Amino acid sequence: MATLHLIGTGTPTPTKDRHGTCHVLELDGDFLMFDCGPASTHKLVKAGLWPTKIEHLFFTHHHFDHNVDYPCFLLCRWDQSTGKEKPLKVWGPPSTRLITDRLVGPCGAFACDLAARINHPVSQSVHKNRGGALPRPGMNAQATDVGAGPVVATDRWSVTAGLVRHMEPWLNSLAYRVQCGPWSIVFAGDTEPCETLTRLAAGCDVLVANCWDTQDKMDANGEGPSQTGTRDAAKMARDAGAKTLILTHTGPRLCTPTIRQQGLDDIAKHYSGKVVFGEETMAVKLD
């Protein structure tokens, strides 16, 4: 029914195996992308997902490990487009529209790049050779700031957002629930356990959760509040009644074999459902 592509499963700390957050939900021929952390565009292609396939992008919040590849994705998707693709629709908490405009708007950081590619004869030839027509269309991204409540709906699926707790008041953070008939998946984003997430995720089939490290380590070093460790991830899934818990945004320590097993053992004490420890470019078949 659906496939979840775990494009980026790491944290702000880069490692050779993972860095930043990005997920793509392949749903009935549609591709919904959640966050756009470091190297997301490169990793999309590595996973066999061409950027022009993505028509919907949802930001949970605007920490750099969730949005820093946004300009690369915007420009690459536009550059590879022939003009026949649907516009890219982007949603996220306040500043999503501002960030987009400052990147690719008329006075944005990449306005000169866009102007050159639209107007230079060589770039026009490249565009025509890809199957495009002149005059070459400009950037086709439509960004919208959203808060809690319905975000978008089609005749096959809908997306609803809920406010969660992460870095307020400096950043607003959202979780998203994708509903497709009776089936649902929730992207928790970076959050500590909170009632709003429990309500949004109630009865979901899949919960995708931040899991930075083992809970005892996080509680001991002051990293527990505002994000999720092993025990909190387990309790979030249990309290929501989720059938499957997928762990992402996992820190370097938790990804070592011994600590990973300790973390999974900790989760098993509080949650009896299926657990998937996410890896970059992993494709998870969902039902």
- What CATH number is given to the structural domain containing 281? 3.60.15.10
> Cα separation of 285 and 271, whole Å?
21
Helix (H) / strand (E) containing 108: none
Residue with tokens 């490990």: 65
Q: Please give the backbone phi and psi of residue 95, each rounded to the nearest 5 degrees, phi first.
A: 100, -10
Task: Please tell me the predicted confidence (pLDDT) of residue 84.
Answer: 86
- pTM equals 0.97
Sheet of 56-58: strand order equals 141-145, 88-92, 56-58, 30-34, 21-27, 2-9, 282-286
CA distances from 104 to 52, 73, 98, 138, 163 (A): 17, 11, 10, 10, 27
CB 198 within 8 A of CB 239: yes
Q: What is the rounded distance in angstroms from the CA atom of residue 262 to the CA atom of residue 270?
A: 13
- pLDDT at res. 244: 98
Instruction: Tell me the mean pLDDT per 10 residues along the chain, length 287.
Output: 95 95 95 98 96 97 98 97 92 98 97 97 96 93 97 97 95 97 97 96 98 94 93 97 98 96 96 97 93
Task: List the domain range (segments joined by +) for residue 105.
Answer: 2-286
Q: Exposure string (b/e) for 39-74, b if CB count within 10 Å is 16 or more?
A: bbbebbeebebebbbbebbbbbbbbebbbbbbbbbb
| Count of domains for the chain | 1
Give the pair of three-digit tokens for residue 240.
């929501």
Which sign does the torsion angle of CA 187, 191, 192, 197 carry?
negative
229-257 confidence digits (pLDDT tens): 999 999 999 999 999 999 999 999 999 99
Q: Do residues 209 and 247 make contact, with C-beta atoms less than 8 angstroms apart? A: yes
Contact 1, 287 (CB under 8 A): yes
Give pLDDT, residue 287. 76
Q: Which amino acid is at 3?
A: T
pLDDT in tens, 12-67: 999 999 999 999 999 989 999 999 999 999 999 999 999 999 999 999 999 999 99
